Structure 1
């Protein structure tokens, strides 16, 4: 609660600073100046995907070495730093949503079908006493692996978009809908809605992320970016980002606070900060993160299997905690990408063979 309210206060200070000094601000939009898809959102998804892995690595290290407070507090700091990841996924997923023919066919092929297959396989691997009722429950609420909750959460937003699309895109209502969604999100984060919702639904509650979804819809309806960010805005972003980093260090090292995924302000700060500096990335780094972002759903569904099997191996066995962390991160991101490349290559060869 304190972190949520602190974020709101800092956001208010940032808005006042921009307003008082008349500093121009670049609002992210789904197309660049050449009217092409804005790849910076794919890069953001790449950052978010790596962040999700970092959150789970902290749990992995804590499982083996809960008493090693120095290491655990550092992995906790990295985990807290990455708590922008799920909100950014929700936001970027909403940006390119369009109501068109084949809407659910695309979602079925690229999300529902892989999720179903991975859920069944994961259930058979992770659990011993099989139960159809339990499998169905775990499937509906995304409980086969902890991070799987994201899929039923995302599917609810896809349905919400279809139902409320005409209302969400009305220009006159946009500011009020955005304000309402922000208020609902904050109230949900403070736990005030929990008593009105079934306990099982808490983990996949759309109210925890509804502001980011509505913000994504708003960004997605803009025509093109203005590219008017200034050196002053970059400097102020650095100042506020530094304040957040210092606060994260204090929360992580002094209090051992494990932050939640659905704070409203922190992910927005991260998005603005990264957005203003993406143009300074060299092409290799930008393309790497963009590729990770494009493969994010596949990595998201596969990496829990890897981290699950790694729970039988002490991370310190990989040449100590530092190299153990790096190796775990590379393995959980790199191996799913490698499998994805092999599958895509197989599909290409199969199609080429059929054509010949």
Structure 2
């Protein structure tokens, strides 16, 4: 019975996504608006800050999701506050798909592909997993640690790393095929269908329960879309101001619809519903140039430091579970301060480490 209710709930949210996508398709068609996905500037050799802005949004969103759990831990009976932190958490559900998508955009098979992944992802993840297991659990077991390590369970958000490693393997396999435009479009459509079917729970009975949280089928469309975007040539098309105004109306209506349905259900959304993250991606990309310059720089910097924040933030929120968030000046200031601490402290530690590396290298060079 519970599985049936779960499938119905998943179906309702996927149907909402299909409705939103249909509304968007009609908007683009009737008003002759070009559908412009973000495309990396192929002429640049430096890191593109525009994609770091997207990752900055995603990193803040991930922290917002975890803040809801933090407030719920201390004040489950405060329905007004929990309802609003849940609303913010649901709005932030674009975050993990956005990370996966942006991680795929600049992937290239070149010399040192696996060495780079090992140094910049596996090694930090291993260090933080060992340290996290040591401080979080009272009874130690090598078997338990390796299970948690493989499934990303030392801290709940760590599931993202084993998930991402599977996608790096998938890219290694798909890359030769994805070079062809026709095959790329076919694989993108297949990945979308697989993602929707997975969201509806049809794979759950065939996959081990332990694998569900790191199943690539839950996010495969976003990863393939990222590869597709990375291999797409830039277009000279632009969206004019009238089209932006029309799309603004659509995005506002979509947001209202998502909020209404979210309040009616009062339930945590999944990270991997297929349509909502794409809407957010299109929205941010179309209005990116209109953002305040300082805000864009801050978001870009957060995005540039996202992996470090991602690995350190679970430690901070873990220790904060010994302190009631309301002690920081009530629910509002408690929420804001929690957000600032979980983003700011990892960035500060990252700056200190990078500064130390620079001084160390300078000392040895002299």
**Structure 1 length-normalised TM:** 0.97
Counterpart position of 2:356:
346
- 1:71-86 matches, within 5 Å, as 71-86=81-96
Asked if 1:159 corresponds to 2:169, the answer is yes
Asked if 1:112 corresponds to 2:122, the answer is yes
Alpha-carbon separation, structure 1, partners of 2:24 and 2:249: 10
Counterpart position of 1:316:
326
Moved more, 245-254 or 172-181: 245-254
> How many Å apart are 1:37 and its aligned residue?
4.7
Counterpart position of 1:222:
232
> How many Å apart are 1:34 and its aligned residue?
6.4
SS in 2 for 1:195: coil
> How many Å apart are 1:163 and its aligned residue?
1.4
- 1:50-61 matches, within 5 Å, as 50-61=60-71
Asked if 1:270 corresponds to 2:280, the answer is yes
- 1:267-306 matches, within 5 Å, as 267-306=277-316
Asked if 1:332 corresponds to 2:347, the answer is no
Moved more, 28-37 or 41-50: 28-37
SS in 2 for 1:172: helix
Counterpart position of 1:259:
269
Counterpart position of 2:14:
4
SS in 1 for 2:251: helix
Counterpart position of 1:191:
201
The answer (yes or no) to whether the contact 1:32–1:38 under 8 Å persists in 2 is no
SS in 1 for 2:181: coil
**Structure 2 length-normalised TM:** 0.94
Alpha-carbon separation, structure 2, partners of 1:195 and 1:115: 30
> How many Å apart are 1:224 and its aligned residue?
2.3
How many pairs does the alignment contain? 356
CA RMSD of aligned residues (A): 1.4
Alpha-carbon separation, structure 2, partners of 1:75 and 1:236: 30
Go from structure 1 to structure 2 and tell me whether the alpha carbon gap of 1:34 and 1:107 turns closer, same or farther (over 3 Å shift).
Answer: closer
> How many Å apart are 1:237 and its aligned residue?
2.8
> How many Å apart are 1:254 and its aligned residue?
3.4
Alpha-carbon separation, structure 2, partners of 1:104 and 1:69: 48
The answer (yes or no) to whether the contact 2:31–2:243 under 8 Å persists in 1 is no
> How many Å apart are 1:244 and its aligned residue?
2.9
Q: Any gaps of 5 or more consecutive residues in structure 2?
A: 1-10
Please give the per-residue CA displacement for 1:98-155, whole angstroms capped at 9, x wherever unaligned: 0000111111111100000000100010001100000000000000000000000000
Go from structure 1 to structure 2 and tell me whether the alpha carbon gap of 1:310 and 1:176 turns closer, same or farther (over 3 Å shift).
Answer: same
The answer (yes or no) to whether the contact 2:34–2:237 under 8 Å persists in 1 is no
Q: Any gaps of 5 or more consecutive residues in structure 1?
A: none
Alpha-carbon separation, structure 2, partners of 1:247 and 1:21: 22
> How many Å apart are 1:31 and its aligned residue?
1.0
SS in 2 for 1:196: coil
> How many Å apart are 1:169 and its aligned residue?
2.2
Alpha-carbon separation, structure 1, partners of 2:53 and 2:295: 9
Alpha-carbon separation, structure 1, partners of 2:58 and 2:347: 15
The answer (yes or no) to whether the contact 1:46–1:292 under 8 Å persists in 2 is yes
> How many Å apart are 1:8 and its aligned residue?
1.2
- 1:88-127 matches, within 5 Å, as 88-127=98-137
The answer (yes or no) to whether the contact 2:52–2:304 under 8 Å persists in 1 is yes
Please give the per-residue CA displacement for 1:290-333, whole angstroms capped at 9, x wherever unaligned: 01001000000000000000000000000000000000000000
Alpha-carbon separation, structure 1, partners of 2:46 and 2:128: 33
